[in-house]
Amino acid sequence: MNTLTRRRVLQALAAVGGASILQVPAVRAATEELVVTTYGGSWEAFWRDTLMPDFTARTGIAPRVDTGLGRVYTTNMRAAGVENPPYSVVMTNEIFSTVLRAEGYFEEWDLSKVPNYADLYPVATRRAGAFGAVGMVSPIGIGYRTDMLSTRPTAWKDLWEIEEFRGQLGLYNIVNSAGKMFLMMTSKIFGADIYDIDTGFAKLTELGRVYQTDFNMSTAFAAGEIAIAPFDFGEIARLRSQGLPVDCIIPEEGMMMWDQTFSIARNLPNIDDAYAYVNYILSPEAQDLLMREFFVSPVNTKVQVPKDLLVDVPVTGAAMDSFIDWDWEWVNANTEELTRRWNEVFGA
């Protein structure tokens, strides 16, 4: 059954009580409600229309989807306290997961209840260990307008060394985790390591005029305000599908990524449902659905990216070892200084 047809079938089943029709366990009582998080917009639509109906059809569990952002989840978890979690499973960037994990809000996983964990690429588990796993990887390479540049970049160093790129560069600012990653990466490439920020900031001053954004790079790209930038491969795929002449490369020094870590809250009455959900998210079936919808790189080693998707999802297999590892604990402890110094270089 193709993806589109399957989606329609699942939507219909969910609307009319699909769990019983498919002869899977009855939907859990509201008192044991499983509350899972995602983001708004297209994320929420996909969770409600496709991912959760598929999960319910397979397990009989009908979660409630709550939307927000990492800062909101962190605030709400702290306000509720460890004993009364407002969410069952939190999906958010590792920069936020790091904080909540250190403060004791997340359950250490019984991995016997998450069999798909054993099939994950190392990048999905190296930060959270047994306290969670990255369920979505959005690789960030160098995106560029092929009609505006005659030189194809191959490395992050090219942003400094190729004169054609000067004045045409876009960067995510320090508010975005991609800005923090870019600083650490610059420090690593030109200095001793990711902590060598004196070298990092010195090199950033050499970039000259830079277009900054805290979220949306695509608008500036489409308008021709910039021609090259750190870019999510999935967003490049969407721009390409709209007819924009763009490409994205895997830099020689490694990649950044937007990660989505899935963590289970402590003190849940329905913890087995939470385990079922994270195991599903990490399954080949769910990873395939997420790959096709968001062009993310599957974190389960059993998922093969089909040939017709490789241009849009090129980071798979051995390339999954190319992501640079970041120290988010250090970043969070030094955010104020990093922000101040970044703004001294580029302006607020």
Helix (H) or strand (E) holding 344: helix 335-346
Please give the pLDDT value at position 190: 98
Neighbouring CB atoms inside 10 A of 300's CB total: 22
SS3 state of residue 86: coil
Q: Cα(139)–Cα(126) distance, rounded to whole angstroms?
A: 16
271 and 165 together in one domain? no
37 and 57 together in one domain? yes
149 and 46 together in one domain? no
Domain membership of residue 347 (yes or no) is: no
Is residue 89 within 8 A of residue 286, CB to CB? The reply is no
Is residue 34 within 8 A of residue 88, CB to CB? The reply is yes
252 and 262 together in one domain? no
Please give the pLDDT value at position 32: 76
208 and 335 together in one domain? yes
Q: Cα(213)–Cα(56) distance, rounded to whole angstroms?
A: 38
Report which of 62, 280, 276, 256 is spatially closest to residue 177, judged by C-alpha positions.
256
198 and 276 together in one domain? no
Please give the pLDDT value at position 21: 34
Q: Is 112 exposed, middle or buried (0-12, 13-18, 19+ CB in 10 A)?
A: exposed
Tokens encoding 30: 């509201």
Tokens encoding 169: 């560069």
Burial 147-164 (b: 16+ CB within 10 A, else e): eebeeebebbbbbbebee
69 and 201 together in one domain? no
Domain membership of residue 266 (yes or no) is: yes
Q: Cα(314)–Cα(138) distance, rounded to whole angstroms?
A: 11
Q: Identify residue 64 by its one-letter amino acid code.
A: R
Ranges of the chain whose pLDDT falls below 70: 1-31
Task: Return left, alpha or beta for 152; rule: phi > 0 is left, psi -120 to 50 is alpha, else beta.
Answer: beta
Please give the pLDDT value at position 252: 97
197 and 311 together in one domain? no
Structural domain of residue 73, as residue ranges? Answer: 3-137+258-321
Q: Cα(88)–Cα(40) distance, rounded to whole angstroms?
A: 18
Please give the pLDDT value at position 215: 87
Is residue 338 within 8 A of residue 331, CB to CB? The reply is yes
> Locate tokens 């999960």: which residue?
55
Q: What is the CATH number of the domain that holds 31?
A: 3.40.190.10
